[in-house]
Structure 1
Amino acid sequence: MKRTQRAIVWSRLCGCALLSPGLSVLAQTPATATAPAVERVEVRSSPEQQRRADIAGRQVVGRDELLSHGQSGLADALRRVPGLTVEGRGTGLEVKLGGLGQGYTQLMLNGDPVPRGFALESIPLDSIERIEIVRGGSVQTAQAIAGSINIVTRRAPALATRDVKLNAGAQQGRPLLSAGLNLGDRWGTAQWGLGLVLSHEDGVWPATYLQDRAEGAQSLVQRVRTDKRETSLDRAVSLNPRWSWKQEEVDGSQWQLSTDHSLRHSLTDDEVHDRRQAVLGAPPAQTVSDMDMHFKTTLWRGKLQAKRREADGASTEARLTTTWSRRLQHAQLLGRDITLRPVQDQVVDGQADDQSLILAVNHQRDLGAAHRLDVGAELEQARRRESRVQDGRELPLAPPPQDLDERYDAVVQRRALYLQDDWTVSPGTAAQWGLRLEQLNTDSSGNVFETVRQSHRLVGPLARVSIKPEGGWGVFKLGLTRGFKLPEPREVMPRRFTPIEVSATAPAMTGNPLLRPERALSVDASWQGGEAASHWVVAGALRRIDDVILDQLSYRPNDPNYPWLLERFNGGRAWSASVEVEWSGQRKQGLIDGQPLRWKTSLALYESRLEALADKPNPSIAGQAPWQFKLNATQTLAPTLTTTWGLQARGAAVADQFSERSLALNARYGLDLSLAWQPRPRQNWTLSVSRLGAPDDVATKTTRVTSPTGPVDYRTQETWSRAPRWRLGFESDF
């Protein structure tokens, strides 16, 4: 899939065409500070109207939409949301906005960045109230180049609630079971809630690896086939107590206090079994590798929030969020050669502790009839302690084992101030400007490397405008933001991360203490229009990313343990552009006479370019697909019977990388179906199946190395099996 200069020019022309209507209307609309204020409406009748009224175009995915396909898990629910991409498997799931992953999209939980080690599927889908999506940066969080995804959990219910949920499913013959209980009631002026979820998830991911090596002008000289099987058995209990209190004063002011806590404890047993055979050439060093891993993870998160609303509408809010998690790990790796003689016997015991404390204060106040001021401050202290002890058994005729005793300690301190002004310019025009100042200090130390200290001062300006011209032309929005992406602690600590078998396409990795943050300037524009029965959104974005973090591969033939080493570095400037079109609506007469049909469809085009690789055929950001299509529809079959189906598809992604490497991902698609039956109010049965017709995930990695005898080409094709997943869910009050 060769990318031509014409395609790049086309994408930028589309972005310019998308921006020009908003600019022209802005030029024609007079801006006067004495214009009458637009009445603020706190409750929107639909997510579409709320998105249209929000200056930043905040997209809200409600609870009903998330649960429309049954209890399929948060990752599957997010896959159906327009504009979002979910990649990976198991605990390695990643959510992308604009096709940009690798930390460009900020994932948040109730307004705070998710803690380290956070797993997307650790939040039960039933405990989520809504998902808020903002494209581009904001003064509330500058570390969001592509945008932010805020997961908002359910609050304490206002009415008496007693719900039970049961789910049973399977994937490739492995059981997927969960049971949930949700209780809540009002007690005077206070409300309380309690959520309990028990889960038993048994996953399996079979795969096939083909590793090829070609030397000089010769054809293939070696091919090794690996039959891989990864399994994961996760048993977890989640507890979510919450409480809120509200006191109304005589003058119309009010006090609010609330707490929201979550506790999750899980036991996970993972296994990785590799069986290798030489199809051509010499046999591999290990023909059999078996790795057993056992994890015990405890995560506790607590939040205390106080809010004071004055009679004039001004409000002051303070929140304190604490997180503590511990993961204990025990792993054993056994390897055998072609004669089944043991050549490796390693045992690794590890412990990782994460602690964080966030204190945030926010004040909002109207300044006259046309301005609303939002000012806030945040303080955060986060710490990660990790220990890793590796013992190896000496084996005859085998390489000497690596015995390691490593300890790491990383501390992050963050201080931020932000200011934002929402300005009602005229009845049809609103503007927003703001500034965020942030100071970050990191201190990483360990017993196997020198202490790494970094300090960063980040300035994030913001400017947005929303214009609603007369005559029913919809709403035009234009925004300019500056965001940042900080390196992960593992990216700056010079620690080695080693796979089971080190190769050119599966190298060891090490951190780089000289990494600088990535800085991005983003322009986001959109148009939203349509009537109540049909809603359109056309959005575009152009981002310039400086000091983009990339990988550099080095070959070290004299190092028996790390012959291939991958290190991150700042690789110059990158560009990313996107155009997205969404269409949603409903018909009173659907596919069945007298029964309504609702639909939501989207098409997104993505383009990116690394300037340092401009001479390559595909200088794209790795993992970004060129296009993505989604279609979701809900058809009522009868007053108590509803069917929902969703189709997701994306194109193949090809990206050249530094060190003569490339990564190609095949096109992916899948169909989700569900049937919901409601025999009585507040009782539901749901049968769902996801990933129907989905092809296997195929990733192809290539590397070229120059040797004295000529170039040597390495190629690995990973094929991961994707099987349908079905679930039967029951929900009822009692």
Structure 2
Amino acid sequence: MPARPFRLTQIAAAVLSIYLAAGAAHAEAEAPAKPAEAAPLQKVEIKGAAASYDARRDDTASKTVITSEEIQKYGDTSVNDVLKRVPGITVSGAAGRSGGEIRMRGLGNGYTQILINGERAPAGFAIDSLAPDVIERIEVLRAASAEFSTQSIAGTINIVLKKALKAAQREVKFSEGKGSKFSSPSVSLQMSDKLGKTSYSFGGNAWRYMYNRVTPSFDTGTDAAGIPNLDRAATWHDQGRADGMNLSPRINWTLDNGDTLTSQTFVNLNQFVSNSHSRTTTTLGKGPDYDRVDSTFSSHNGFGRSDLNWVHKLAEGAKLDMKVAVSDNRNTADSLQFGGNNGLPATLARTVVSTSSEQGFSTQGKYSRPLTLVAAPADGKGEAPAEHALAMGWDAGITQRDDTRNQREAVLPGGLTPDNSDEGFSAKVTRLALYGQDEWNLTPQWSLYTGLRWEGLDTRSDGNTFDAVRQHSSVFSPLMQTLFKFPNKKDQLRVALTRTYKAPSTASLIPRKFTSTNNSPTEPDRRGNPHLKPELALGLDASFEHYWGEGGLLSASASMRRIDNYTHQGLLYEDQRWVSTSINDGRAETRGVELEAKFPLRALVEHAPALDLRASVSRNWSRVESVPGPDNRLDQQTPLSATLGVDYKSPSGMLSTGGSYSFRNGGLARLSGTQGGYTSVRRDLDVYALWKIDTQNNLRVAVSNLLGQDYVTESLYSDASGTQNRMTVASGETQLRVTIEKRF
């Protein structure tokens, strides 16, 4: 095993070398021969203002935009796979498996805000079920702005769904992905057209994911003297199928007075069925409560949101933008579990049925207008005008959530006393935010963004197993960002000061208990904490950017966050069982630096192949004051991540190909005086090729997770009586995906 990562890295290096050589050869082969006496041709370039606009370079508020072309480049079926290649963003978990958490600055635990069309997704909605084909662009905001919620300590990722186009378009895609332990077919349809003053678009995707895999885990322990007293090995054989679909219709009307009215709907449906078999062998110490567990599980999820957006133009360039939206999210799940020991008949037969629903109403509005404070003199000399882009608005909503869970255990010979329960709760969350902002061009080289946002959140819940819970919190968030462009028009400096926060989720406030099958310090029960407070953070960001040539960029950035009321998972021992619950525990600090470079190779070598190169590296540090060191960093923070990529396009434009390598470090983290966690290094190597057969047909081939490395995690517990550790190994596998794209 120790030699495997090195061997695979060598293979990866060889693949990339062949890839680059092939690209260079292809460019040379396709280059047209130069006539002996050809007269030099004058090159004329015509660029529109829209084409020359670069949000990252031109906006005062820091923002990076991933375009639709970049999103679809590798033929991904999950938005998580798209984001893992973006500089400064990591995705937790094993490659190719669903459920990974999207992180900025290496921070998990909900510090990164994920939005869909500027609004937070409901509880229980899996972002990785969102198909890339329905996404217009992804906006990455590294510093908070007043227009979006400031629940963004690490940053904000805003996923913007596709909009209506001016020209007619029809496109269908058929795709098949295959690995050694899974297969994943999918189909998508995109349509758009314009009829007079009305335009529309429709996106639809459907997919299936089938898998059959084995995940081993190992439990070890020692007593107070360090002598081994526990050694267990378990295998979890899991097979299942997931089906899903996305629908995103949108209609846009242009009214006679120039106003626009837009209706956009998004529907996501998922169902999942699985059966699993766990077997545990104990060679030292006490065995688990059940060394044999057989389970079946099924779930259905449906989410829909529809909004109506009106944009009204006013005098002097002012604009009023208002939106109302309704949403509905429903989940059902049921499981059947049998447990036994030593090959004897089952002594546990447990059935759990749960349902949840969440309905929401929201409204947003923004009034904006440009403003010139100093009139420009008629002769063009003297003081330049001071330009402002003023905006103010609101964001309000009400969400009602209902949740039930019914557990039944059969009376079996030799079994424990049945633990039957009927639990339910309802929760109402009311939020209101008011904000104002101003983007001010002090000089042609210097701009300043200032904003102030107030957010109030009121949560009320009650249930049949706990007393009524009510929590009210509000946060003032002053924000400042500034951009200074040096006279050489190539270099610029950004600085941002922000106040952000993270509110506890509704589920984490509900004091309802979820029981684990084999209870232990590394597999505890879970329970909410109604006394949780929001985490508050003061942030400082600074970056230097150097632009040159066509698309060349070098940047260096640094950031710092000081977090009060830091929240982590505490571990308690109650009524002979281990229970995990969230607690506020003092202050934490995090710091980070990030370097990024991207440029065409021809910017360095005049006659080089048409290769675009990109690379980035991010280093993060953190410290939790209440946890003794070393390794007392924030829960599961990624200390180091890096990306390296190359893209090639043939002179004819018929062939595009490239590769991307992403690296994510892991390591040990202490979560409290008794708890710790370990994650292994993750390396992803992906390659793709796109052949434009003609103007209407494309063939895309992509290979992801080419290294196929295993992913290892450990849960660690230690106190005066000894230690207990659990290690889990998620096997890695390579995926080949072929996609046929047809326009008509």
Give yes or no for TM over 0.5: yes
Give, as a single letter, the amino acid of the residue that structure 2 aligns with 1:241. Answer: P
- 8 A Cα contact 1:434 1:462, kept in partner: yes
- 8 A Cα contact 1:259 1:302, kept in partner: yes
Task: Check 1:594–1:142 CA distance in 2 against 1; reply closer, same or farther (3 A cut).
Answer: closer
Q: 1:172 aligns with which of 175, 180, 202?
A: 180
Q: 2:270 aligns with which of 263, 266, 271?
A: 266
Q: 1:281 aligns with which of 271, 281, 285?
A: 285
Q: Please, which moves more after superposition, 634-643 or 190-199?
A: 634-643
Q: What is aligned with 2:637?
A: 624
Within-5 A mapping of 1:552-567: 552-556=570-574, 558-559=575-576, 563-567=577-581
**1:200 paired to 2:208:** yes
Matches of 1:498 and 1:537, distance apart in 2: 49
- 8 A Cα contact 1:590 1:635, kept in partner: no
Structure 1: tracts of 5 or more residues without a match: 1-40
- 8 A Cα contact 1:288 1:340, kept in partner: no
Within-5 A mapping of 1:634-645: 634-637=647-650, 639=652, 640-645=654-659
Q: How much does 1:694 deviate?
A: 3.7
Q: How much does 1:226 deviate?
A: 0.8
Q: 1:237 aligns with which of 235, 242, 245?
A: 245
SS at match of 1:342: coil
- 8 A Cα contact 2:288 2:518, kept in partner: no
- 8 A Cα contact 1:277 1:284, kept in partner: no
Q: How much does 1:638 deviate?
A: 6.3
Give, as a single letter, the amino acid of the residue that structure 2 aligns with 1:724. Answer: T
Matches of 1:537 and 1:204, distance apart in 2: 44
Matches of 2:178 and 2:346, distance apart in 1: 36
Matches of 1:88 and 1:43, distance apart in 2: 42
- 8 A Cα contact 2:616 2:642, kept in partner: yes
Within-5 A mapping of 1:396-435: 396-435=413-452
Q: How much does 1:590 deviate?
A: 10
SS at match of 1:646: strand
Per-residue CA deviation, residues 121-159 of structure 1 (Å, 9 max, x unaligned), is 222111101000101222121111111000001101211
Give, as a single letter, the amino acid of the residue that structure 1 aligns with 2:638. Answer: A
SS at match of 2:347: strand
Within-5 A mapping of 1:50-89: 50-88=55-93
Matches of 2:608 and 2:443, distance apart in 1: 43
Matches of 1:272 and 1:156, distance apart in 2: 44
SS at match of 1:156: coil
Q: Please, which moves more after superposition, 262-271 or 589-598?
A: 589-598
Matches of 1:594 and 1:137, distance apart in 2: 40
- 8 A Cα contact 2:167 2:194, kept in partner: yes
Task: Check 1:179–1:529 CA distance in 2 against 1; reply closer, same or farther (3 A cut).
Answer: same
Q: What is aligned with 2:316?
A: 312
Q: What is aligned with 1:701?
A: 715
SS at match of 1:396: coil
Q: How much does 1:394 deviate?
A: 0.9
Q: 1:247 aligns with which of 245, 255, 260?
A: 255
Per-residue CA deviation, residues 20-53 of structure 1 (Å, 9 max, x unaligned), is xxxxxxxxxxxxxxxxxxxxx9955367x32011
SS at match of 2:316: coil
Where does structure 1 differ by over 4 angstroms across 4 or more consecutive aligned residues? 41-44, 588-595
Per-residue CA deviation, residues 311-364 of structure 1 (Å, 9 max, x unaligned), is 522111001121101111111111111123202110111111011111011010
Q: How many equivalent residue pairs?
A: 680
Structure 2: tracts of 5 or more residues without a match: 1-46, 373-385
Matches of 2:606 and 2:741, distance apart in 1: 27
Q: 1:131 aligns with which of 129, 138, 141?
A: 138
Q: 1:549 aligns with which of 563, 567, 572?
A: 567
Matches of 1:623 and 1:114, distance apart in 2: 23
Give, as a single letter, the amino acid of the residue that structure 2 aligns with 1:630. Answer: T
Q: What is aligned with 1:497?
A: 514
- 8 A Cα contact 1:641 1:678, kept in partner: yes
Q: 1:160 aligns with which of 168, 178, 185?
A: 168
SS at match of 1:45: helix
SS at match of 1:680: coil
Give, as a single letter, the amino acid of the residue that structure 1 aligns with 2:595. Answer: V
Q: What is aligned with 1:356?
A: 360
Q: What is aligned with 1:14?
A: none
Q: What is aligned with 2:742?
A: 732
Matches of 2:674 and 2:105, distance apart in 1: 26
Matches of 1:355 and 1:669, distance apart in 2: 40
Task: Check 1:506–1:607 CA distance in 2 against 1; reply closer, same or farther (3 A cut).
Answer: same
Give me the identity figure in percent.
27
- 8 A Cα contact 1:668 1:695, kept in partner: yes
Task: Check 1:310–1:595 CA distance in 2 against 1; reply closer, same or farther (3 A cut).
Answer: farther
How does the TM-score come out when normalised to structure 2? 0.88
Per-residue CA deviation, residues 590-634 of structure 1 (Å, 9 max, x unaligned), is 999774101211011100000112x32111002112211101211
**1:717 paired to 2:727:** yes
SS at match of 1:618: coil
Q: 1:115 aligns with which of 122, 125, 130?
A: 122
Matches of 1:303 and 1:91, distance apart in 2: 28
Task: Check 1:270–1:313 CA distance in 2 against 1; reply closer, same or farther (3 A cut).
Answer: farther
Q: 1:436 aligns with which of 450, 453, 462?
A: 453
Within-5 A mapping of 1:529-678: 529-533=546-550, 534-556=552-574, 558-559=575-576, 563-588=577-602, 595-613=609-627, 615-637=628-650, 639=652, 640-678=654-692
Within-5 A mapping of 1:218-233: 218-233=226-241
Matches of 1:329 and 1:176, distance apart in 2: 23
Q: What is aligned with 2:375?
A: none
Matches of 2:609 and 2:483, distance apart in 1: 37
SS at match of 2:626: helix
Q: How much does 1:248 deviate?
A: 5.7
Q: How much does 1:221 deviate?
A: 1.4
Q: How much does 1:205 deviate?
A: 4.8
Give, as a single letter, the amino acid of the residue that structure 1 aligns with 2:514. Answer: F
